[in-house]
Structure 1
Amino acid sequence: MTKEAIQNILSALDQEYGTTKVGFLHHADWQLLLAIMLSAQSTDKQVYEVLPKLWDRFTSIEQMAEAPVEEIEDYIKSIGLYKSKAKNMKQCCGQIISEYNSVVPRAIEELVKLAGVGRKSATLFLADAYGIPGVTVDTHVLRIAKRLGWANGNNPVQVEKELMQVLPKENWNRINFQLIYHGRSVCTARKCNCEKCLLSEWCEKKDCVSK
């Protein structure tokens, strides 16, 4: 794909979905990290609904680390996988306190050592908290990047590396939510819906089939 075509696609995505998104409610970096952890396999709406009461109760990282897991569960039980997430939230905060002097690390290699923090969550956190550029690859991004002809890899790490080569750095942080929105509304896993797609003019796989 030519650089012109790539830029046309990026401009179309900017116009359709915007360049910023509303972030999760938080008052400290550790709260943002936990909110991102909660969003895994859950909708943003579900996370938004639990955060106000959660942060009213847990105002410090120490409170979260010292709380019984059952109490944390009570605040997030409307979230998918809430039991495992509550356990990870408590353990993660304990790690940040004991290993990083209560400061969330800024290196992805350190973040992924924390309980419940995968590469996707770590990349999103670094982008939202510190503005560090990074490409976050979930199922929507992986699928659409391959359909567009931007990537050929079969796993998130491979596609992340390919997209960092293809896309301008200023687009890295927003390509995730733009392709998520596009993947939910138009280029779904079941059907490409090319006739409705604002990117079809430049897409290399217009006639793709569901995989």
Structure 2
Amino acid sequence: MMLRKAKREAILNILEATYKDTKTALHYNSPFELLVAVILSAQCTDDRVNVITSRIFPRLNTPEKMGALTQEQMEAEIRDCGLYHAKAKNLLGTCHMLVEKFDSTVPSEIKTLMQLPGVGQKTANVVASIVYNVPAIAVDTHVFRVSHRLGMAKGADPLATEKELQKAIPIEKWSDAHHWFIWHGRKVCKARKPLCKECVLLEECPFKEKNLE
């Protein structure tokens, strides 16, 4: 069930008041480092990614340095991250393309970012919105779950959900709302046992399977 405008606005206002100043949990010091971290974060927790990047960024913090590794060396650097074979290949391909096509600069446009190996819609949205302040809503598992439970979206996949959220949320709040949904999903609206009794949205939320134990 999709919510009416007044209900959507009420939910967004509460989320904003609760998570107003939240940012990404990924650690980075440059656009390139954020890009690498987001690529690594696919099916991997931010905490695990931060462990890996804290180890590799002091040595491999530019596309030239990281791109100089072999596939085997790159895999060894990120072996404790899920899907490390594919991620190593994509990271090296991204490094080479950044150097050869983009003068070692991370592109600012979402469509251009998606030309890079391993960079899909979600990754491009995250990087563009955080680094370049491009309005975007990156739909990860938290955003998907929370937006559906709150009735803000009902799309069957992340792309459909993204389009619905773009219509439901004012464009000037897209990037911030992305973080609100993520942090609410991590702290309260968890996948298996949501903490509904502690939720600031308990009265507004239409989720039928509320956990009120």
TM-score w.r.t. structure 2 length? 0.86
- Corresponding position: 1:207 with 2:201: no
Please name the residue that 1:68 is paired with: 70
**Aligned Cα root-mean-square deviation (Å):** 2.3
Q: CA deviation at 1:33?
A: 0.6
- The answer for unaligned runs of 5 or more in structure 1 is none
Of stretches 42-51 and 186-195 in structure 1, the one that deviates more from structure 2 is: 186-195
Post-superposition Cα deviations, 1:16-74, rounded to whole Å, max 9, x if no partner, equal 33432255333432222111111111111111122233122124311211211222223
Percentage of identical aligned residues: 37
CA contact (8 A) 1:24 1:48 kept: yes
Query: In 2, are the aligned partners of 1:112 and 1:122 still within 8 Å (CA)?
Result: yes
Give the Cα–Cα distance (whole angstroms) in 2 for the partners of residues 106 and 87 of structure 1: 23
Q: Is the 8 A contact 1:96 1:102 kept in 2?
A: yes
Contact between 2:151 and 2:207, CA under 8 Å: does it hold in 1? no
- TM superposition outliers: structure 1 runs of 4+ over 4 Å: none
Distance in 2 (alpha carbons) for counterparts of 1:52 and 1:142: 28
Q: Distance in 2 between matches of 1:149 and 1:55?
A: 40
Greater RCO (CA < 8 Å, at least 6 residues apart): 2
Any conservation in 2 of the 1:111–1:122 contact (CA below 8 Å)? yes
Instruction: Output the TM-score relative to the length of structure 1.
Output: 0.87
Contact (CA 8 Å) 2:125, 2:138: kept in 1 or not?
yes
Deviation at 1:6, TM superposition (A): 2.3
Residues 90 and 174 (structure 1), Cα distance of their counterparts in 2 relative to 1, 3 Å cut: same
Q: Which residue of 2 aligns with 1:95?
A: 97
Structure 1 residues 57-206: aligned runs within 5 Å = 57-191=59-193, 193-203=195-205, 205-206=206-207
Tell me how many residue pairs correspond in the alignment: 209
**Structure 1 residues 47-56 or 113-122, which shifts more?**
47-56
CA gap of 1:193–1:155, structure 2 versus 1, over 3 A, is same
- Cα displacement (A) at 1:119: 0.8
